[in-house]
Amino acid sequence: MERILIIGAGGVGTVVAHKVAQVPAVFDDIMLASRTRAKCEAIAAAVGGTKIKTAQVDADDVQQLVALFKSFRPAIVINVALPYQDLTIMDACLEAGVNYLDTANYEPPEVARFEYSWQWAYHDRFKRAGLTAILGCGFDPGVTGVFTAYAAKHHFDEIHYLDIVDCNAGDHGKPFATNFNPEINIREVTQKGKYWEQGKWVETEPHEIHRPLTYPEIGLRESYLIYHEELESLVKHFPSLRRARFWMTFGQEYLTHLRVIQNIGMASITPILYEGREIIPLQFLKAVLPDPGELGEHYSGKTSIGCRIKGVKNRREKTYYVYNNCTHQDAYRETGAQGVSYTTGVPAMIGAMLFMIGQWQKSGVFNVEEFDPDPFMEQLNLHGLPWHELHDVDLEV
């Protein structure tokens, strides 16, 4: 019997639980564990039946994790808690002999800085243990890496320019809310911009570079150059890239709120004293903002995320655009979660499934683009995230 353990009962965990339960031929024994067991139980009840077992675990505590892994004995852990828990869960995997998959790279709680170095440093230990670790298997990072690998494999001799474009044209009806964990999200979008050009990183002020881009079935949306984690692994694994950038759309209302939040100090992660106890302003802000997991019911519109690539094929310059559009209401009807959680949770399930059936297994720590993209692309079409491709079009970038 092949067991799977999901850690984290937030918006993404909700989607992963629904999706693994839809594939009983691969996942026949499922457990969902998180800090708050009641949240796991609510998700298990929404999935229905007795398909999902639940447990309480503090994923900051390696020994608690090891005890849980040894009693449930999963083949793989899907980590959809927060990036802060990546290393403790990887340590526990090594100690208990369990394979690993996540959707976001490690970030130390006390510094708003994410990079792969900490997790890549586990490569030799996973290799020696004969275990697989699949990093960044959500949408971005995740599908964007698979899209790039698929393009490089089938449509180019060399890829030179990569622009990842992420548009959320949805409307949740709230003046301000984030689409995934507010603390992680605000840390990500308020940092400086960064992109790769001619072999080095170029830094920009936050949101300094922006331009309108056209998204399929959506239209023109102002898109801002931000730094995103998959750029680090993609420029490493595709050294022919001369430039790699990431663009995300933001509305004016969102940016105004963000500016105010920063200006009044609420985005700070430096502890302050409040009524005699230490609090972190950004964590306090998270507590008063809408829960991203609750946005689904009134969310209209869709997301559109893809890769715009320029390179050469048969000595001829070629352009290629591969993307997925996901409708918030469809995601909500199927899983009770909005599109951003859905586009993250479905790829996590697919990565775990490919591991389970032996197609994505190798000893060590790997980013998604280091595996064969073909079976993943096939499964995206079958599990709710169909993709489309356009050849020799104006990429606008």
Binding region for ligand NDP (CB under 6 A)? 8-13, 34-36, 39, 57-60, 80-83, 85, 103-104, 138-142, 180-181, 184, 292-293, 340-341, 344
How far apart are CB 80 and ligand NDP at their closest, in Å? 5
**Any idea which residue has 């963000």 for tokens?**
258
How far apart are CB 315 and ligand NDP at their closest, in Å? 36
- By C-alpha distance, which of 335, 345, 279 is closest to 8? 345
Sign of the four-CA dihedral 125, 67, 83, 241: positive
Query: Could you tell me how far CA 165 lies from the centroid of its own chain?
Result: 14
Comparison of 139 and 156: residue with beta carbon closer to ligand NDP: 139
Q: How far apart are CA 12 and CA 17, in angstroms?
A: 9
**Any idea which residue has 């639940």 for tokens?**
54
How far apart are CB 164 and ligand NDP at their closest, in Å? 11
How far apart are CB 107 and ligand NDP at their closest, in Å? 8
CB atoms closer than 10 angstroms to residue 290: 15
CB atoms closer than 10 angstroms to residue 258: 19
How far apart are CB 57 and ligand NDP at their closest, in Å? 6
Comparison of 139 and 150: residue with beta carbon closer to ligand NDP: 139
**Any idea which residue has 């996973």 for tokens?**
126
Comparison of 104 and 261: residue with beta carbon closer to ligand NDP: 104
Give the residue closest to ligand NDP by C-beta: 10
Sheet containing strand 132-135, edge to edge, reads 52-56, 29-34, 3-7, 76-79, 99-102, 132-135, 364-367
How far apart are CB 385 and ligand NDP at their closest, in Å? 11
Q: How far apart are CA 208 and CA 247, in angstroms?
A: 12
Backbone angles phi, psi at 383, to 5 degrees: -120, 25
Q: How far apart are CA 242 and CA 163, in angstroms?
A: 11
Tokens of 119: 């997790």
Tokens of 215: 């998204």
How far apart are CB 266 and ligand NDP at their closest, in Å? 18
Comparison of 155 and 254: residue with beta carbon closer to ligand NDP: 254
Comparison of 10 and 311: residue with beta carbon closer to ligand NDP: 10
Please state at what angle helix 252-263 crosses helix 182-189, rounded to 10 degrees.
Answer: 90
Comparison of 11 and 193: residue with beta carbon closer to ligand NDP: 11
How far apart are CB 201 and ligand NDP at their closest, in Å? 21
Q: How far apart are CA 318 and CA 296, in angstroms?
A: 39
Comparison of 104 and 129: residue with beta carbon closer to ligand NDP: 104
Comparison of 85 and 335: residue with beta carbon closer to ligand NDP: 85
